[in-house]
Chains A and B, each alone.
Chain A
Amino acid sequence: MKKTIITVLGKDKVGIIAKVCNYLAQNNINILDIAQTIVDGYFNMMMVVSTENASKDHAMIADELTDIGKEIGVQIKAQQEEIFDMMHRL
């Protein structure tokens, strides 16, 4: 199963996760795992999702998530998992 990693970076505030989750639900994207941490005072969230049955392709999901991020003042990226696997796993 191809996994996508969605990351959110910015100042913590109410409703960030809700907003992202809403978008994912609307597009039939299943959340497999969520983790979050604070680095240098910034809110970092990572979601592992499956886009297997998603209604849109990766490029469109990535663009729309970036736009949602701009709306609420955080940075949102969607990347396929392989880049992290390649860099951190042998």
Chain B
Amino acid sequence: MISINEVIETNEMIQKMNLDVRTITMGISLLDCVGADLKETCQKIYDKITTSAKDLVSTGQDISKKYGVPIVHKRISVTPIALVGGSVCKTEDDFVEIAKTLDAAATTCGVNFIGGYSALVSKGMTKADELLIRSIPKALATTNKVCSSVNAGSTKTGINMDAVKLIGEIILEAAELTKEADSIGCAKFVVFCNAPDDNPFMAGAFHGVTEADRIINVGVSGPGVVKAAIETVRGENFEVLCETIKKTAFKITRVGQLVAKEASERLGVPFGIIDLSLAPTPAVGDSVGEILEEIGLEFAGAPGTTAALAMLNDQVKKGGVMASSYVGGLSGAFIPVSEDQRMIDAVSAGALTLEKLEAMTCVCSVGLDMIAIPGDTKATTISGIIADEMALGMINQKTTAVRIIPVIGKGVGETVEFGGLLGYAPIMPVNQFSCDAFINRGGRIPAPIHSFKN
């Protein structure tokens, strides 16, 4: 029989430490939605999404009530649209029509984001891939719920530098088209190296072609729970610290496993994976930066930060893997700037720079995330930042990503307010030296050698 202390512990995690299931994301394959023309394709897409996910939101609410644990988001990911629209989209505007269809389907289902306005171009771009990428700024500016991503490199293929160059320009264009809203379009776009097929977290979620027709993926979170747990072992050595993080990650992930199994059964859709990530929000006590401070750093960004983050990320995985039958997605600690109050504070205090964040992304689960930079940053400079991040992923055989927001009309020292879960961010300075000639070379960087690992 469960003891009262165990019940109290669980409920304190939920009430005081912000333990939640961050998202139930239904992946839906749209490969069978290609019609004879654009209109028929859009209709099939709308019908398949709204039929498949019609009970997603209500099921999430029911499960939340049953176990008394918040399930924050219900979301949908779909097959990369460049693959679905390839045969019927002849112009950028044709692709934007599909984006609008996705937006409408998301609204009908009641989900807050739909991901998969994506292209997989790690080695080369088809005509359709390029059209889709060029349509991204308009698609993001004319829709509210559509999230977009591009996989521009991988360990097996190298880095598509033509795509990286194009994406630098596209990010600036997306910023320009949404400049009235602090360039928020860019917050809904992420560029990956080694993108996972089953990531439930936005903006990078898409339903990979290796997946089943429909799938339920669940993202759990709980930086506040980890922070509270390690408060109890302040001053203890690393062995004690690591054991504490592992045990906590195990408990958090078990809740995700329970919710995922139940959602899968109720919806009649197979269970895919649990993504056991520490995903912070701007709420106080829901911060990865705060964990790093509790581990012993004055601010995130101080010397030792990369080691602390590497340890944290690894222990979260070790604890979580045993708690779930299938683990996938991104799984680890996210280090977004604008979505994490203590990371914002670290930037404002001058402790955390773009370069240090880049180093941290070598050992965290994703990459440069929700970073605001001056709106007058050159496209080639943005491409250079992306190329650096892609290289880290390619060489280290891990997922890396960039979600960067050049805020049009704002410069270093100013602050940008995205609102809600996206938070706010101080604009960070960018290295002003040019990489024009490097980016303008074009072509691709070959796949790395998989031996001589030094």
A interface, CB within 8 angstroms of B:
5, 7, 9, 33, 35-37, 39, 44, 46, 48, 58-59, 62, 77-89
Contact = CB atoms under 8 A, between A and B. Distances in A.
Nearest to B258: A86
Contact of A87 (B4, B68, B255): B255
Interface of B is mostly: helix
B40 to A, nearest CB: 41
Given A33-B1, A35-B4, A62 B11 contact: no
B66 A58 contact: yes
B264 to A, nearest CB: 15
A37 B4 contact: yes
Contacts of B257: 86
B7 A5 contact: yes
Given A58-B65, A83-B10, 16 more contacts: A5-B2, A7-B7, A37-B4, A37-B8, A44-B8, A46-B8, A59-B65, A62-B68, A79-B66, A83-B67, A84-B10, A86-B257, A87-B10, A87-B255, A88-B6, A88-B9
B304 to A, nearest CB: 32
Given A86-B254, A86-B255, A46 B7 contact: yes
A31 B3 CA distance: 15
A77 B68 contact: yes
Contacts, number: 66
Interface string B63-80: 001111100000000000
A39 B5 CA distance: 10
24 contacts: A5-B2, A5-B7, A9-B11, A37-B4, A37-B5, A46-B4, A46-B8, A59-B66, A62-B65, A77-B11, A77-B68, A79-B66, A79-B68, A80-B67, A82-B258, A83-B68, A83-B255, A84-B6, A86-B257, A87-B10, A88-B2, A88-B10, A88-B251, A89-B2
B1 A87 contact: no
- CB-based closest 10 A-B pairs: A79-B68, A83-B67, A35-B4, A86-B254, A46-B4, A88-B6, A84-B2, A86-B258, A87-B251, A87-B254
B62 interface: yes
B141 to A, nearest CB: 40
A76 B187 CA distance: 39
Q: Please report whether the interface of chain A is mostly helix, strand, loop or mixed according to DSSP.
A: strand
A8 B65 CA distance: 16
Interface of B: 1-11, 62, 65-69, 251, 254-255, 257-258
B1 A80 contact: no
Given A86-B254, A87-B251, A87-B254, A44 B67 contact: no
A70 to B, nearest CB: 16
Contacts of A37: 4-5, 8
A89 B3 CA distance: 11
A40 to B, nearest CB: 10
Contacts of A78: 68
A29 to B, nearest CB: 16
A7 B11 contact: yes
Contacts of B11: 7, 9, 77
A77 B10 CA distance: 12
Given A87-B10, A87-B251, A87-B255, A80 B2 contact: no
A38 to B, nearest CB: 11
Given A83-B67, A86-B257, A39 B2 contact: no
B67 A79 contact: yes
Given A33-B1, A48-B1, A86-B255, A80 B7 contact: no
A82 B423 CA distance: 34
A88 B11 CA distance: 12
A86 B66 CA distance: 14
